[in-house]
Amino acid sequence: MSKTIFERIIAREIPARIEHEDEHCIVLHDIQPQAPVHLLIVPKQPITRISAAVPADQAVLGHLLLVAGTVAQKLKLDHGFRLVVNNGPHACESVPHLHVHLLGQRQMSWPPG
């Protein structure tokens, strides 16, 4: 099985604009931003999608949300931000490696998409 683009970024095989990195995840700027701030919070442990997560993934999944809050605070997204997780083709999942979109610095609408 070939590596996903995120696995290649984590392995430093292709470049990315990295905002944060720790032992569990990497946070990078989306190359096709949908908001003035659009980051991807990607676990280093490959999880195909949220529906494929198992109880053993709980700590990593929680870590992604905590990192989202920390990065949002660092970037001063004081007026709010949105977190999005796409799951499957009908949700526009484009990479089969779980990631959390962090979007901010613009007014979001409801319902989304």
Which token pair is 80?
């709010």
Instruction: Count CB neighbours of 53 within 10 A.
Output: 16
Asked if 84 contacts 100 with a C-beta cutoff of 8 angstroms, the reply is yes
Where in the sequence numbering do the catalytic residues fall?
99
At residue 43, the 3 state secondary structure works out as: strand
Measured CA to CA in angstroms, residue 16 lies from 31, 61, 106 at distances of 9, 22, 23
At residue 34, the 3 state secondary structure works out as: coil
